[in-house]
Amino acid sequence: MSTNKRALGVAVAVLLFASLVALQVWRTPKPQLPPVATLPDGSSLRLAKVSFGTTHSPPGPWWRPLAQRLPSDWQRRFGVVTNPGLSTPTSSLGVWLEQEKAGHHSRWEFALVDEHGIEVLVSAPSSHDATPPSGPVLIGRAFTAFPRRGKMVLLRIYDHTPTGGRSLQASFHFPNPAPGPHPEWRPQPPPARARHGNLEITFKQLQTGLGDGSEPRSPKPGESSWARVDFEVKENGVASDVWTPDGIELSDATGNQFRQQSWSSGVRGGVTHLRWAPHLWPSETAWKLRTEFARNERAVFSTNELIVVTGLALPAADSVTALNLSTNRLGHTVHVLGLSHGRGKFGTRNSRMSSSGISIEVDVSPELGTRKRLTVLNVRDDQGRKVDSSGAGSGGGSYSFNFTPMPDARSLDFSLAVQEVVLGEFVVKPTPFIPGK
Fold match flag (2-175 vs 306-420):
yes
Side-chain half-sphere exposure of 291, counting CA atoms within 13 A: 32
Structural domain 193-299+423-432, CATH architecture: Sandwich (2.60)
What are the residue boundaries of the structural domains of the chain, listed by start?
2-175, 193-299+423-432, 306-420
pLDDT at 407 over 60: yes
DSSP designation for 373: E
| Distance in angstroms (rounded) separating the CA atoms of residues 147 and 151 | 10
Conformational region of residue 255, where left means phi above 0, alpha means psi within -120 to 50, and beta covers everything else: left
In sequence order, what are the beta bridge partners of 175?
Answer: 152
Fold of the domain spanning 306-420: Immunoglobulin-like (2.60.40)
Candidates 2.60.40, 3.40.50, 1.10.357, 1.10.287; CATH matching 2-175: 2.60.40
The model's pTM is 0.81
Would you call 140 helix, strand, or coil by DSSP? strand
Would you call 138 helix, strand, or coil by DSSP? strand
- pLDDT of 250-295, one tens digit each? 999 999 998 888 888 989 888 999 999 989 999 999 999 999 999 9
- pLDDT of 95-152, one tens digit each? 999 998 766 677 899 999 999 998 998 989 999 888 777 778 899 999 999 999 999 9
Lowest-pLDDT choice from 34-38, 197-201, 290-294, 308-312: 34-38
What's the chain's average pLDDT? 86
